[in-house]
């Protein structure tokens, strides 16, 4: 079962020093593809967000420790409203990926000083977001879309962790 | 020894019963080479990997994808002793192929996503958890003989 290793993952494409320019790893076509996919998720943000969280907490039970204050049973309104917040934040940011550092500044502060979620967990949620997108999009979530989305979510996670220390 | 619940065994068997090894093998391996391009380092003798389209149409990659899925089937058929079942494969990957064991996880993530795309929402969170537990045991067994 996946747990967070003490050492940083060798496969994290983004480190502290490169995350500021992480979005430069995306081509114009990839940015458009990412924005288009997230735009479709906005009307179903609660469903998609709840599913991502549920997949993460079922596959990686250690992540449940961050939700002791919520009802995280399948279908719970807490899960749906929290999932919706996450999906909308990711979708909003995808509309202007080049401005990621500015758009995410408040969320950076929130995660660093208040939530203090160990950043290794971001990767676990990102993976479950990819699985959710694949389950809903089928063949449309082809390798090119997958690669673009993985890069975007990695950059998003790296920026979110920027203020931790 | 790894403990499997009846539900986990059933989920994993059900998933495998729905897989066309040729189709899923090709999709999984080509996806890994596209999403994580550094993994192409192990496939220098496989011909044209120049871009996503070339990779997806490469017959040697497709054939190797089937080989990988057949290897996973061996784990499925020996779920109570995957470690020993994979001892030789682990030695092969370490001493002959020189594959960084971190890469096994990348391929297993791609396989999970290919299966999610194929099964849609019937690939439930519980199915995902069971399957990822299976894959993490496989990945661990493959890395066991490295030294």
ipTM: 0.89
**Residue listed under structure tokens 């149409």:** B57
* pLDDT by 10s per residue, chain A, length 165: 444 443 334 444 443 334 444 556 899 999 999 999 999 999 999 999 999 999 999 999 999 999 988 999 999 999 999 999 999 999 999 999 999 999 999 999 999 999 999 999 999 999 999 999 999 999 999 999 999 999 999 999 999 999 999
| C-beta atoms of B120 and A54 within 8 A | no
Asked if A89 and A109 touch (Cβ cutoff 8 Å), the reply is no
CA distance B131 to chain A (A): 9
* Residue B1 pLDDT level (bands cut at 50, 70, 90): confident
Identify the pLDDT of residue B73: 97
d(C-alpha A153, C-alpha B35), whole Å: 13
Asked if A120 and A4 touch (Cβ cutoff 8 Å), the reply is yes
Average of per-residue pLDDT across B47-63: 97
CATH topology of domain A34-164: Globin-like (1.10.490)
Q: Is A30 on the interface with B (CB under 8 A)?
A: no
CA distance A47 to chain B (A): 12
Identify the pLDDT of residue A14: 42
**Among the listed residues A104, A127, A86, A112, the one whose alpha carbon sits nearest the alpha carbon of residue B111:** A127
Average of per-residue pLDDT across B107-124: 98
Of all residues in chain B, the percent with pLDDT exceeding 70 is 100
Residues of B in contact with A128 (CB under 8 A): 128
Identify the pLDDT of residue B81: 96
Residues of B in contact with A143 (CB under 8 A): 30-31, 34-35, 52, 55-56
Residue among B52, B125, B133 minimizing CB distance to A55: B125
Average of per-residue pLDDT across B90-97: 93
Q: What are phi and psi of B19, to 5 degrees?
A: -95, 135
Identify the pLDDT of residue A61: 92
CA distances to A113, A120, B50 from A163, rounded to whole Å, are 8, 15, 38
Q: Is A44 on the interface with B (CB under 8 A)?
A: no
**Region for A26 from its dihedrals, namely left if φ exceeds 0, alpha if ψ lies in -120 to 50, beta otherwise:** beta
d(C-alpha B73, C-alpha B21), whole Å: 9
Of all residues in chain B, the percent with pLDDT exceeding 90 is 96
Compute the mean pLDDT over every residue in chain B, rounded to the nearest whole number.
96
- At residue B100, does pLDDT exceed 70? yes
pTM (2 decimals)?
0.89
**Among the listed residues A115, A128, A121, A131, the one whose alpha carbon sits nearest the alpha carbon of residue A157:** A121
Asked if A78 and A19 touch (Cβ cutoff 8 Å), the reply is no
Residues of B in contact with A146 (CB under 8 A): 31, 34-35, 113
Average of per-residue pLDDT across B5-23: 98
CA distance A30 to chain B (A): 13
């Amino acid at each position: 079962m996946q747990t967070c290793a003490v050492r940083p993952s060798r496969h994290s494409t983004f480190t502290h020093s490169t995350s500021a320019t992480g979005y430069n790893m995306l081509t114009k076509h990839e940015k458009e593809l990412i924005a288009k996919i997230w735009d479709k998720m906005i009307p179903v943000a609660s469903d998609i967000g709840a599913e991502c969280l549920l997949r993460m907490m079922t596959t990686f039970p250690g992540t449940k420790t961050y939700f002791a204050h919520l009802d995280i049973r399948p279908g719970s309104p807490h899960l749906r409203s929290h999932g919706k917040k996450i999906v909308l934040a990711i979708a909003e940011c995808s509309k202007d990926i080049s401005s990621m550092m500015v758009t995410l500044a408040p969320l950076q502060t929130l995660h660093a000083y208040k939530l203090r979620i160990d950043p290794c967990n971001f990767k676990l949620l990102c993976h479950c977001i990819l699985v959710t997108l694949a389950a809903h999009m089928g063949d449309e979530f082809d390798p090119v879309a997958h690669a673009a989305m993985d890069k975007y979510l990695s950059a998003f996670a790296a920026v979110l962790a920027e203020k931790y220390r | 020894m790894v403990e499997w619940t009846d539900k986990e065994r059933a989920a994993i068997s059900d998933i495998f019963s729905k897989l066309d090894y040729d189709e899923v093998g090709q999709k999984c391996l080509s996806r890994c080479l596209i999403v994580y391009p550094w993994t192409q380092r192990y496939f220098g003798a496989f011909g044209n990997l120049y871009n996503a389209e070339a990779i997806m149409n490469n017959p040697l990659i497709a054939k190797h994808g089937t080989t990988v899925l057949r290897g996973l089937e061996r784990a499925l058929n020996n779920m109570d002793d995957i470690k020993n079942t994979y001892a030789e494969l682990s030695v092969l990957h370490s001493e002959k192929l020189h594959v960084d064991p971190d890469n096994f996880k990348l391929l297993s993530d791609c396989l999970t996503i290919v299966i999610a795309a194929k099964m849609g929402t019937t690939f439930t969170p519980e199915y995902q958890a069971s399957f990822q537990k299976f894959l993490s045991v496989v990945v661990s067994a493959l890395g066991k003989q490295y030294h």
